[in-house]
Structure 1
Amino acid sequence: MKIDNLTPAIGSEIHGINLADPDQVLQHAEDLRAILAERQVIFFRDQDLTPEAQVRFAKIFGRVEPVSSTFPAHPENPYVELLISQGTRTGTDIWHADLTWQTSPPAGACLYAVDVPETGGDTMWASMTAAFDSLSPAMQDHLRGLRAVHNWEAPALTENLRKRDETGALYRAAREKYAPIEQPVILEHPVTGKPVTFVNSLYTTHIRDVTNDESCALIGFLSGLAKVPEWQVRFRWTKGSVAVWDNLATQHYAVNDYHPEPRRMHRVAIR
């Protein structure tokens, strides 16, 4: 393998491995896990993956589970989530980590580009370990004792469910299954042990045990840390590209600038 670090803080592109070849994937599995832990998001080009091959590759990073988000599952594989858009509202053109409203959010994700626009539709990632490191020791200590509430009902996501089912049954089922939950404001990463700022503007609704004004200010400040360019990497998709990212240590933003060109992605969540 050949590894190109794309920025000092985050992101590496890896060359010289065929992800559809089980033997190659297993041969490099330990190295790929180590690179992901260090670099937080890794990229591959010119891959040809069936849904089965994508799931098999994702499994080297952890356990996979059937789709449990507000997007539909692939008709041939319940572990593959379909992200299909034409540059219209998806709810992902905002800095966020995936599914932080679940008791155990995905530890990572594997995203495969099936069909992408000629230009536009990039995705950006930001390191939330770098964000924590930027804070003063006094602020770090203060935040460690706080907890925040996360809720899945972001406007664009609820609208997505209603479009898929005009009866409202999917929306009502999701509300019943996924009540708002609490997460630590500062998460200790289960693999690296590094502290991570775990607040995002899509799903974090308020912070416990502070005033409403303090909660709004803290959420705005902490979620805004993802916007610092020095902690970001931006990836231009081409057909056959793959990204694997650490969902606990990063936030990401799907740039929504390609309407009316189609964009079809396959995602597998890693637990």
Structure 2
Amino acid sequence: MIKVERLTASIGAEVAGVSLGDASRDAALFAEVKALLLKHRVLFFRDQDLSREEHVAFASRFGKLEDHPVAGSDPEHPGLVRIYRSEAKNPYENNYHTDGLWRPNPSMGAVLRCVECPEVGGDTIWVNMVEAYKQLPEEVKKRIEGLRAKSSIEHSFGAAMDPEERRKLAAQNPEVEHPVVRTHPETGEKILYVSSFTTHFVNYHTADNVRYGLDKTPGASLLLNYLQSQASIPEYQVRFRWKPNSVAVWDNRSTQHYAVMDYWPAPRKMERAGIEGDRPY
């Protein structure tokens, strides 16, 4: 019997009584899990002794899996990215982000399994960006209605590369444009859709927004910073403490997440299957 325990008033539930290996083979059981995901936005499962084949098979029920241009995939299991942090401190995870916002079709979601984790530290935070939009002042909602923004992989993953590699990454993954407020394709909810991958608005400079030149760049930058900061509000968040064989499944369209990097030099090894998404509107 499936048991669901909500973890916060806003987002997240821990689910017991479900084997994700079974759900990878059982369409009806998978449908129950997906319905819970749409309701709670991120689901957590403990003691899941998943094989890599089952991990990929379960994630593939949501849709086609995607590769990553920097992290790459397990050669024997395409779409399964190994996020192993054991040799050096890595400061590039600890920011609020939506996976693949730099893609024309950002990720629909992901299935992340803990292989090895530190005794303490290395938690992950997820944020309900539907609630973040709902709670914006009405004047801000009116101001961002119809706004569009560019997102890029170059200034994030590319920033740690040498200039030639960075330019090659940018050429292979050009910046993309998405709405600042998107609509969830399955629930119809409005979602605040900017994250740390977002660089700038593309249609801010209008007569309504810019009275004098000083409004143009600082005005847009301050507004973007304000919108990005909404992900850091605790009332929209859930924080999960990992244990080996714990699994998180999240809806990447309506959430952001932040991998807390407070554990180095202890190792943290995770495996993630990301699912291709639709073009935001």
Question: TM > 0.5 between the two?
Answer: yes
Greater CA deviation, 207-216 or 21-30?
21-30
* Counterpart position of 1:44: 45
| Structure 2 gap ranges (5+) | 205-215, 277-281
* Counterpart position of 2:74: 74
Greater CA deviation, 1-10 or 46-55?
46-55
**Cα gap change, 1:229/1:129 in structure 2, threshold over 3 Å: closer, same or farther?**
same
For residues 86-136 of structure 1, give each alpha carbon's deviation from its aligned partner in whole angstroms, at most 9, with x where no partner exists: 371251100111110100001101101111111100000010000010012
**Cα gap change, 1:34/1:150 in structure 2, threshold over 3 Å: closer, same or farther?**
same
* Counterpart position of 2:120: 119
For residues 158-213 of structure 1, give each alpha carbon's deviation from its aligned partner in whole angstroms, at most 9, with x where no partner exists: 25566xxxx955x454222211111100001111110000011x211011232211
The partner residue of 2:245 within 240, 249, 252 is: 240
Aligned residue identity for 1:42? L
Contact 1:18 1:24 in 2 (8 A): no
Aligned residue identity for 1:243? A
The partner residue of 1:183 within 175, 178, 181 is: 178
- Local SS of the residue matching 2:133: helix
* Counterpart position of 1:65: 65
The count of aligned residue pairs is 263
| Structure 1 gap ranges (5+) | none
Contact 2:181 2:192 in 1 (8 A): yes
Cα distance in 2 for partners of 1:109, 1:67 equals 12
* Counterpart position of 1:229: 234
* Counterpart position of 1:7: 8
* Counterpart position of 1:208: 202
Aligned residue identity for 2:82? L
Contact 1:126 1:251 in 2 (8 A): yes
Aligned residue identity for 2:114? A
Contact 1:70 1:160 in 2 (8 A): no
Cα distance in 2 for partners of 1:214, 1:83 equals 37
Q: Percent identity?
A: 35
Contact 1:47 1:242 in 2 (8 A): yes
- Local SS of the residue matching 1:91: coil
* Counterpart position of 1:132: 133
Alignment RMSD (CA, Å) = 1.9
Cα distance in 2 for partners of 1:36, 1:161 equals 36
* Counterpart position of 2:149: 148
* Counterpart position of 2:258: 253
Cα distance in 2 for partners of 1:20, 1:262 equals 26
Contact 1:17 1:24 in 2 (8 A): no
Contact 2:60 2:275 in 1 (8 A): yes
- Local SS of the residue matching 2:244: coil
Contact 2:5 2:14 in 1 (8 A): yes
1:65, CA displacement in angstroms? 2.5
Cα distance in 1 for partners of 2:233, 2:260 equals 16
1:19, CA displacement in angstroms? 1.5
In our comparison, the structure showing a higher alpha carbon Rg is 2
- Local SS of the residue matching 2:120: coil
- Local SS of the residue matching 1:57: helix
Cα distance in 1 for partners of 2:122, 2:257 equals 13
For residues 236-270 of structure 1, give each alpha carbon's deviation from its aligned partner in whole angstroms, at most 9, with x where no partner exists: 00000000111110110000000101111111111
TM (norm. structure 1) is: 0.91
